[in-house]
Structures are given as structure tokens and as C-alpha cells.
Structure 1
């Protein structure tokens, strides 16, 4: 698409936004002025949103948990593409595509998360697909299709959701099949030759069995080019599918078997040089989406799995559930850290993982008592290898290994209505993780090791070679009180503990950091929260407020620095110390008339290290550098405002205009502030216009994203110095795009 065409589209879309504002203004004024109520204004109220944050169905306004929920209809109207768009709707959340990839997920909630996606490291925000825990971040940037809703639970969820949910949890809930045949086809075309097709449908075979499935293809040219190889850069090439079978032998028994697979052949993202190096081909390129990477453009990520849910309604009060799942994934990729044709700092890599999980749940619902209890087991393996190629020195370091994990847990959570207005909830979970880590690391003379295609490489030095076992145990309690001030306003206070397992550093260099063979300890978060949820103005306005304070201990931080002498890069994962985090969150929805509504959110996070123990390679000692360290991926302020205006047309159809603005204050890429990589404050403006036919079968939309074409960083690498040719690399979020969609359903 040419620049003139883009500018024309931008002008049309911004003009549409202005038109929507002018059209909506009289409607708002009418709602505020005294006027006789009509049938239309009487019906203008918020609808209930049902969530399963506490493993049972509850109204969003009644659940004493800080949770955001987004229905499939809301996400479609906004033109949401994948999970990362949630960060611009949910407060105090960062959800990005990882450095150098197209489908690896990096997530932070309330300052807690994990940026390093290497095998063996575990995220601090749990991702669940239909209550199945996704242990690895590779392939976890899920495209949004064939869903019912997505829930974002903020704060530690260690009681009901278990290990590695110390920041929170994201629940991706797919649709159950209906009793009637359904079909939906959605096609999209947009800038950068974006072409998408999503087809889904389901049908009953008989009174007992129903089948369904969805198939999606996502294609898009790159936002930039690899100026050395000519390949697309920041492109998309994804094929995904899902099949499900539902069996209902009787009124009290339900079985669902589901399988899914995603193939991502998008090119690797090599990033953009933020600082010029010493050579002519290492100068900064004007277009932030371009690169000169010479390592190649090979990348393939495959993730797939199968699961079975069995649900038996024993009585009106008791339900038993079994959730069984197996998942596996493979990644084969190349990342050029220096962004030049020379192999100054190249990283060819592959990852492989698999996991089996089994969860049993007992749910009880009585007049005053509601409870859920269960058992959980996971058996998983994560493995991989990569070369660190230092072309300037003619050296390569091979790193390889695996982590086997067995996790056992028992949990229970009970809520009791002390009075008609006051309720007490108590929960706890005991978790035991057993891990075996194998780490191998060696230096070779030559460009690449034998593992990555150079049989002539000469072995120089073994730096790490061990297999160790460790076990980690933790009890994570939860305690809460909630009080209904009236039928529409509820307040709550709660305490919860989160636990993220310890492990072994897969990059650990035993020569430079001998203590790496001992592994690292778990993280613990103790969180205190107070909240208020209410509906006002005859259910036209909902406001959810939360204030939290977290005591964060044992933070696992990855540090990578050149070893003395410049022969390789040393990596170490340390439990650096402790910190405190506090913040505020406000979410709301308002219905002004049947035609005009708004959704908004505001988040504030103040995070500060109390202790940060940094390992100094030169002295071999730990030094407290907390005064010079900051939290990564945690803007102090963030917020969004979404306005929706719907107008009925004479033929019975309607058009819906949705305008969204998201704001994020400045944030840091790493714990050490770096002006070359840290992102300044910015705002993103989106606009969607959707026409829906009178029969509700046809829908046509135009979705504009990042209309002001804001350039903003979402990740980076920092390897300054002559040996690395000052490889300071940044990765950027999508530029301005416009997408047209057509959907047919029956």
C-alpha cells in the first residue's frame, strides 16, 4: 500500500471518529437531561457477564476477585487479532510477543511476570485454554477465533490455579457446541497484503453426540524487509485448527474431547539496531521494521494438543469434573542479535516440549456454602539447544539441556455466607514440584558448533556439564471477606499467596558462576487487596475498583554479560532479593442509551526493589544494587477508553462504530535502565466500523489499528562493546494497519 493511500485511509477513519463523536453527543446530552422515560431508555442497561474466575459460574459484578472479561462479540467489534491486544483493555497488564519471535508470549500483571522464554524457565502469568494449563510460552500468542470469552485474573491465583500464577492468569474459553447446526465463515483483507480466512461450525449427529471444528489461515507480508536476504520481516504465516466432540449420554453426564494444532512459519524477527556499530553494514536503518540480518530467515513453530473434559452432575449440589490433556511443541529458529550480514552475534536455536496434565475437581453448591476441591498432576519435559556465535572472535558456545518436571497439588476453596450480606472465603493449595535439570555448555573454535551444522568446529573447553535434581514445596493460602452493602454494591478484602517454582539455569556457565549447578529457588508473592464493585444509575453504570499491595520475595532475574577475556557470554539466573509493589485499578462500563456506551480502565503500579543482589564476575561476590534497578515491562500508568455507537438503519440492519484509545506511560525493557531501549509514554488509537444485516447473518467491517502510526518498542537485546559491534537491538509493535472483514453465519 502506498503512503498516499495510507494517508487517505487515515483521513477517512479519523473523519469517521469525529462523525461518531458528533453523533453520540446529542445522545449523551439526552440521557443526562430530564426527560420522560421511554421503553428504549428503560431497556438501556448493562448486561450480566458470567465468569469462572473461582472455577464456578458467577456474575462478574459478584465475584470478589479483580478480573476483566471480554466476550467474543466485544473482541470482534474491536477487530482484536490475538491475546496481546488484551494489554490495551485490562489495567496493569503487559502482554507482548517475545523478542525475536512471532508467537512466543511474554506476560506481566501488576509488575510480576517472566521475560525469558528459554526452555526450563516458567512464566509468572498462567495461561489456560479451557482450564488446561499451558506450561510453555512458545506458540502461546493465541489468535482469537472460535472463543466464548477471555478472562484476565489479576494478582496471585495460587489456590485455584496453582504454580506459576503469581502475577495472575489468563483464561481462553472456547465455545461449547449447540443443539442446532451453526456455521460461520470470516474473510479479511488489509494492508501489507493481509489475507485471513476463519471457518467454524458445529452440528448434532443425534441427541447424544455433537461435533464441531474451526480452521484458520493468517497470511501477511512483513512490516519491513531483510535488506540483506530480501525476505519479509515481521510477516505472518500461520495455519491453525481445532476439532471437538461432545457426548451427552444423559442429563447429568457431559464429555468433551478436543484437539488443536497451530503451525507458524512466519519468519524470525531479528529486530532493529538502535545504535550504529563500527562497520558500514551496522549503521542504524531509518525504517524500524527493516534489518540486515545474515543468519537466515528460517523459523517454524508447531504446537498441538488433545484434551478431555468429563463432567458428572451427581446431584443439584455436587458436580465432579475430570480434565485430562496432553500438549507438545517444537520450535526451530534463527535470531540475529547483531542485525548485520556478518555472524557477529548469531543465535541458531531449537526448542522442544511436551506435557501431560490431569486435574480432578469436586464442586459443591449449597444454600450458604459453595466449594471447589481437587487434585492436580503434571508431567512435562522442556529441552533445547542453541549456539552463541561470536564471529569477531571466531568462537561459538553451544548450550543444550533439558528440564523434567513432575508437579503434584491438592487444593480446596470454600465460600460461606455468614449472613445474607457477609461471606467468608478460605482456600489453600499444597504444591510439590520435582525437577531434574541437565545442562551442557562448551566452547568451540569456528563459526557454529557440530550441533548446528559445522562438523569441523574444534572443541576448546567444557564450561558446564551436569545433571541435578531438586524438589520445591509450598502451601499457598487465600483468605477473603466480601460484604454486600446493597443489592448493587459489594466490597471485599483478601489475602493470597503466589508461588513460582525454582529450577536450573539452562544457560548457566559453571566456569564463571560455579553456584549455577545448585539451581535457583522459587519466587513467593504475598498480596493484599481491597476492592469495591457496584452497579449504579439503574444498572447503566458499573464501576470496579481495586487497591493492592504485594510483598515479592526471591525474584528470579536473568542476567547476561560478557565473561572476562571476551570468549563467551555468561548467563545466570539469581534470586536477586525482594521488592514491594502497590497499585490501583479502576474499570467501568456505562450505557448512556441503547445506542451509545463506553468501557474504560485505569491502572497505576508503583514497584520498587528493596534488595537486588547482582553477581559481580570480577570479584565473585554478590552486590546489592537495588538503588540502580527498576522493574521491567511495568508502566506506572496505563489506561484505555472505548466508545461504542450503534445506529439502526431503516432496513432493519445496523452499524456499530467503536473507537478505542489506549495509553501507557514510560517503561523499561530490563531491570537496568537503558535510554537506548526504554520506551517513552505513548497512546494508540483504533477505530472499527461494522455493519450487521437485519437477519444477523452478514457482517461487514473495517478496522483501523494504530491510526497515528506510532512507533513503540516491545522488547530488546543489549550487548554493547566492540566484541559484539554494539548490538543494541529493539523490537517494535505493529504500525498503522487497516483491515476489511466479511462474515457470514447461520
Structure 2
């Protein structure tokens, strides 16, 4: 059977299964099962605490309660032929999600990798597709959007959710609807719009474990009733560190965040709306420490620098089994600072008839200064300072069409981004000269400039009242310019400071990594098509095919010729940049709602062909001392999966929710040009021995909420249990960089009075120990470090709504 036939068979089987699962209840449905009509814009809804609303919003995919804008127009979740999860404000509160890390484990086949030594990074993997390296020269595979504005870097993307109406998570390539193309999916954060007619607000104070102190407030005021309104939101989030240095008592892995946002909404006329937004985030954290899983190894030069002898610097697991203890080499108050702010203007204009126009103009500025102890030991081997100065300007135009049978959007997009960084690497314990320690420092200064242009469009035509065809096309063109300078120095009591011997250090002042080329352009056409059928108003089945694209670029970790030297078809070549990634995703799914919204379900099955995977790996052609970090377009992956979500209300007080994600991700080709092939995923050139990283085969969540009136008050209590399966935390599947799978349980109880509420919550009830991320820098000192999630914590919140 050929490949297209196999894919078609899989899609047909998935569609048949989905239709069979959803069609049976449909035949029993009568007219009373129709979903209620939406009487108002969901973004303008006031907070509610009655039992019906609380139960509805506690579900993950309540199609009758949540309106989404995934396709750039308001639609019921049930009417969108995309695998999408929408988390409303109430659901986020009950999960204790102060920031985006709170959605980890709540969405099938979505993996949030938070850590890598930074308290502010949010690296999403959706269906096994993500960003392989946290460095600023690698593009995210999953786009994070705030009110339509794309966040270019994962640094600073761990956003606080203090004035959010909902979070929409779209799985699969998103290019024909969104300004910036994303190959893996999109996380769409929708803020509350200021209400033009009413004064609304909320304030809450939380105290919890590790001296957690969180205060947040939101107020929306009509400045000119019916025409102009202003909302202001602010959040202060502080918590002591959960990691202790046994030698000093110092605390690490803390939180110290301040965020604010203001939105001005003006209804200039019946057909013209203007939204002006400004936000600021400030973080002042201590170090974020992981834990070593392999012994640190250094090297001793002989007198003529012609031979090396390895020695052990520090053993693995310094303090035995992990118990939130670690000792860094930084002890002078080094930590992490981040300032992140942006302004945007959105103009919505009704052009008359079926047409409307939206313009989104935005400028953002990101400035993190991060000290990171990568090796997480008292030894100075992988200690770095990374200072980044990033700013971006974007302009997007959307022409929307909403006619009787035809709806869609046509868009133009431009993004200019400039990223400069200054980095310092300290490794005084890594090298010796005839037994005498050598002081080592490397200075790196680089900058990257990006110009990204795109034109995109998507149209949906209703062939009948039940059958719809959607088609879209995108053209993307991106130009990157990169410059890098690096200098490394060695010194010791034996001799004065000298430049590192030739072949170990990257020469000064070359425009791009070891070549004369400092500019490269990538472009791609990415189409999509889907067919959806609605046997009844509240049931849909669909099938789709879409192509995704992620730009290539320059390797920001280049230190020497070995980083860009690979064997290609048996020949040694200098590869100055890595190529783009591409994916074709085929999906079939079904959604349904029955019994007046008491039961909602969604099911999706997909197959992805993923090519030219950008793998940042260690080792290479540098010999025994290592020090290289090549990026290789490793080859091809096949990814198959199934996703299921459901919400059931068996009685008025009780709401049950569930989600399951199954993922089968595997390499079908891994072209590894590193020599020698130590830790290669294809050491013999014929047998692949690795599995894709951050792709757990199973993710699952079960939740329950029970809401009952108690006199004039309402009592709600419930929780959820989450499971994340075994996954590898490095591309080449290092033994210590692996999570065996874990369960997490969370519980809450809340009492709502007329305007006041009190909520208590316990997270990670069973005190599970689980890894969230890994750092593989084995080519320098054999560094292999893991990061852990929070232990069991509790919190109490007192709030008021008005």
C-alpha cells in the first residue's frame, strides 16, 4: 500500500470512529437539545458566581459557554473544525494558573517546557513539535499571541494571566489565519475588553506555602458611557525559593513578579472601534537551579598543549536523591532580571455589507539579564551570563468577509525583530595545565535582524446548510542577518592570559559562523484545506490537511569550526546555517453537544510528516575536549496521535471533565553528520536508536467540580488528576535526561457570597517528584542537568467582584 493510501485509510478510520462515537446520541436528540443563542459578546461578560455558570466554565471544552476567535471571528467552539481547547477565566482560577505554566497537563498532547535556567521562559511543545534550544536565535515552533500580537521569543513568554478572558490552544500548523506562521500550533491569549456601559472589577489576595504573596486587581470603567472605557489590571506575585543551598541556606527558584496592563476602548461610531493597550512585566528572581545527573568531567593539558587527560570535577547527584537541594557557584547575589513591555493599537472598521477591516500595530521590548548555573554545582564549569536586548515591530492587516454562505479573512503581515546579546561563559574548574587550574572566560556578542513578510487568506464556503469547505494559502518570506564576535581567554599562575589555542576558539569578528555569509532568506507556500459536515446543529465531523513551515537560521552557539562542519553524503562540508522545518498534518475529528449542553465531546486523530527537524545536539568534530554545539537538519519524523476531550454534567451541581492525548512520535530518518558518532541517534548510519524528545506517548486529565447553594452563598469544590507519560528531555536521549512519567493531583474549595469569595487550594497533593526540562551540554564538561516541578504547595485566596 503506498503512503497516500495509508494516510487516507488512517483518516477514514479516524473519521469513521469519530462519527460513530458522536452520531449515536445525535439520533436521540430532539428540538430541546439545541444550544442556547449567544446574547452578548463573551469578552464583555461580567464575572458570575451562580451554580450554572460556575459549572459550565469549569469544563475544558464547554462549547455552549465559550466563544472563540480561533478563525478571526466569533464562533462557538463546536463550530470550529480545528483541534482546539479553550480555558475560560473560571477554569484557569480553579487550576491556580497564575501564569501559562498552569496549563501544563491540562491540554492533550501539549507539553510546556519551563526552566532551562530561566524563570520567565515558556517553551511549548504541541504534538511533539517545539523549539529544541532556548537560545534567542532559534524560533518558537508554537506561537504565543496576546490579543493578536505575536511574542517572538520564549523568554518573557511565561505570561501572567491576571486579566485574561480565556486561553485558546490550537493544535497543528497555523498559518492561513495568523500573522506569524507557526508550525506546531498557537496559544491565543484573549484579554478582557473594557465594558462600555458598566463598572466592573475584581481584586484578590493570596497567601500560601513558601510565603507566597499574590495580589491582583482589575477594574473596567466607562469613561464616556457607551463610547469610551478604560480597564487597568495589575498583579504582584512573590514566593520564596523552593530550592535550598545546604551550605549557605540561600533560596533559589523563587518568584518575584510585577505585571500591569491598561486597555482603552473607544467606540468612535457604530462601525469603528479602537483598542489601545499597554503592558509591563518586571521580574527580579534568584537563580533557577536544576540538578546534575552525570559527573562533571574536566581536562588536564600537558606542557605542550598536545595531549589531554580527563579528570572528574564533581560527581553526579551531589546530594543523592533529589530533595530540592542544590549548590551553585554564584554567591554574590547573581540572579535574573527581566523587563518586558509593549504597546499595541487595534482598529476594527465595518466597511459596509459583508466586509470589515482590522489593523493590529504593535511594538514590544524585551530585556532579560540572566545568570544561569547550567551545571548546577559548586564547580565553575557551565556558568553563564546572558544579556538580551530584543525589540520587535509588527503590523497586520485583516480584511474579513462574513456573507451568507461565504466567510473568511485575507491578511498581510510584517514583522521586524532585532535581537542583540552579550554573553559571558565562566569555566575556571574545567581545564588544567599540568595540574594547575586554568581560569577560562569566553565573551560573546552577537546580533540578529529579522524581516518577515507574509500574505495569507482563508475562506469557508457553506456548500449546504450542513456541508462546508474551507481552503487557505499563505506565502512567507523571511530574511535573517546575523553577526557574531567571540573571544576566549586562558590564564593561570604559570603564565599570563593568552588566547585559547587555535582550533578551540572561534576567531574574532567574523560576520557569521565560520563563513563569509551573514544573510539568508527563506520562503515557503503553506496551504490548508478542510471539509466539515454537521448532521445536526450541535454535531460536527471534519477532515483537514495543512502544511506548516518554520524558518531556518544561524546557530547562535557556534564556538568553532566543528559546530558547522558535518559529513554530508560522505563529504566533509561547512554548513553555515540550518534549513527550515516543514510538516504536513492530516487530521480528522468530531465535536458534539447533547442534552442542552450537559454533555460535550471532541475527538481528533492526526498524522504528521515532519521533515528537516532542527536538532541542536552536542559533541561533534572537536576531539576530546568537546565544546561544540552543532545544529543539524536531522531528517524526518512520523507523528500519529489521538486527542479526546469531554465535559459531562450528570446533575445540576456536578461537572465532570476529561482529556486524553495519545502520541506516537518516531524518527524515520536521522541524518547525523557528527563524527565521531558518540551519542548519535544513528551511530551506524542505518539504525535509529532515539525517540523524539518532549513527546510523551500519553497525557491525560480527569477533573470534577461540585457546586451547591448554602443559604445565600455557593459552595464549590473539586480538583483534577493529571498524568504525563515517560518522555526524553534531550534530542539524543541521554539516560539521566529522562522523565519516567508522573501523576499530579490538585484540589480546591471555594465559597462565593454575593460579591466576595474565599478559595483554598492544594497543588500536587501527593507531593510527586517530576522533571519538567533538561539541559544537555555534554560537550562541555559532560553537563547534563534536569529541572523539577513544584512540590506540594497550598494557598488561600480572598477576593471580591463588583
Under a length normalisation based on structure 2, what TM-score does the superposition of the two structures give? Answer: 0.83
Where does 1:680-699 land on structure 2 (aligned, <5 Å)?
680-693=740-753, 695=754, 697-699=755-757
Number of residue-to-residue matches in the alignment: 696
Greater alpha carbon shift after TM alignment, 218-227 vs 409-418:
218-227
> Per the alignment, do residues 289 and 516 of structure 1 end up closer, same or farther by CA in structure 2, a change over 3 Å counting?
farther
The residue that corresponds to 2:554 in the other structure is 504
Quote how far apart the aligned CAs of 1:251 are. Answer: 1.4
Q: Which deviations, in whole Å up to 9, do the C-alpha atoms of 1:555-604 show, x marking residues without a partner?
A: 11101227645555101111111111011010111111110011110010
Contact 2:389 2:419 in 1 (8 A): yes
Aligned to 1:484: 534
- What SS is found at the alignment partner of 1:310? strand
Deviates more, 1:579-588 or 1:240-249: 240-249
1:276, CA displacement in angstroms?
5.3
Determine the C-alpha separation between the residues in 2 that align with 1:558 and 1:54.
34
2:458 and 2:444 mapped to 1: Cα distance?
Answer: 43
Q: Kindly tell me: are residues 283 and 609 of structure 1, through their superposed partners in 2, closer, same or farther at Cα, counting changes over 3 Å? A: closer
Distance in 1 separating the partners of 2:639 and 2:340:
35
Give the corresponding residue for 1:249: 268
Structure 2 equivalent of residue 451 of structure 1? none
Q: Give 1:445 deviation, angstroms.
A: 1.0
Q: What corresponds to 2:240 in structure 1?
A: 221
2:412 aligned with 1:375, yes or no? yes
The residue number in structure 2 matching 1:315 is 352
Q: CA deviation at 1:100?
A: 0.7
The two structures, once aligned, show a CA RMSD in angstroms of 2.4
In the alignment, does 2:695 pair up with 1:634? yes
Q: CA 1:456/1:327 → structure 2, altered by over 3 Å: closer, same or farther? A: farther
Q: Which residue of 1 aligns with 2:633?
A: 575
For 1:41 and 1:389, the matched residues in 2 are separated by 58
Question: Does 1:329 pair with 2:366?
Answer: yes
- Deviation track 1:2-49 (CA, whole Å, cap 9, x = no partner) reads xxxxxxxxxxxxxxxxxxxxxxxxxxxxxxxxxxx9xx9999986332
Q: Distance in 2 between matches of 1:457 and 1:224?
A: 38
| Deviation of 1:728 (Å) | 2.8
* Contact 1:202–1:212 (8 Å) recurs in 2: yes
Q: Structure 1 pair 281/275, CA: closer, same or farther in 2 (3 Å)?
A: closer
Describe how 1:117-516 pairs up with structure 2 within 5 A: 117-161=134-178, 163-178=180-195, 179-207=197-225, 208-228=227-247, 230-275=249-294, 278=312, 284-285=318-319, 286-296=321-331, 297-391=334-428, 392-393=430-431, 394=438, 395-446=440-491, 458=499, 461=502, 462-464=505-507, 465-467=510-512, 468-512=518-562, 513-514=564-565
SS at match of 1:302: strand
In the TM superposition, residue 446 of structure 1 has moved relative to its aligned partner by 4.1
Aligned match of 1:450: none
Instruction: Quote the Cα distance in structure 2 between the aligned partners of 1:42 and 1:95.
Output: 31
TM-score normalized by the length of structure 1: 0.89
Residue 9 of structure 1 corresponds to: none
Matching residue of 1:666? 726
Match 1:732 to one of 770, 788, 792: 788
Structure 2 residue runs of 5 or longer lacking an equivalent are 1-32, 34-49, 57-61, 297-311, 432-437, 513-517, 566-572
Following the alignment from structure 2 to structure 1, what is the Cα–Cα distance between the partners of residues 185 and 314?
A: 46
- Provide Cα deviations, 1:205-232, integer angstroms capped at 9, x if missing partner: 1133221111111100011213455431
> Using a 3 Å threshold, how does the CA distance of structure 1 residues 271 and 516 change in structure 2: closer, same or farther?
farther
2: CA distance between counterparts of 1:613 and 1:441?
A: 29
CA deviation map 1:298-341 (0-9, x unaligned): 21111110000001112252111000000111111111123233
Corresponding residue for residue 766 of structure 2: 708
Residue 715 of structure 2 corresponds to which residue in structure 1?
A: 655
Give the alignment of 1:542-581 within 5 angstroms.
Answer: 542-561=600-619, 564-567=622-625, 569-581=627-639
Structure 1 unaligned blocks of 5 or more:
1-36, 448-454
Assess if the C-alpha contact under 8 Å between 2:619 and 2:674 holds in 1: no
Give the corresponding residue for 2:658: 600
User: Are the equivalent residues in 2 in contact too, given 1:210–1:247 (CA < 8 A)?
Assistant: yes
Deviations 1:479-510 (A, max 9, x none): 01001112222110001111101110011244
Question: Using a 3 Å threshold, how does the CA distance of structure 1 residues 705 and 626 change in structure 2: closer, same or farther?
Answer: farther
CA distance in 1, matches of 2:355, 2:375: 59
| Deviations 1:212-266, CA, capped at 9 Å, x for gaps | 1111111000112134554311111111111111111111111011111111111
* 2:342–2:365 contact (8 Å) kept in structure 1: yes
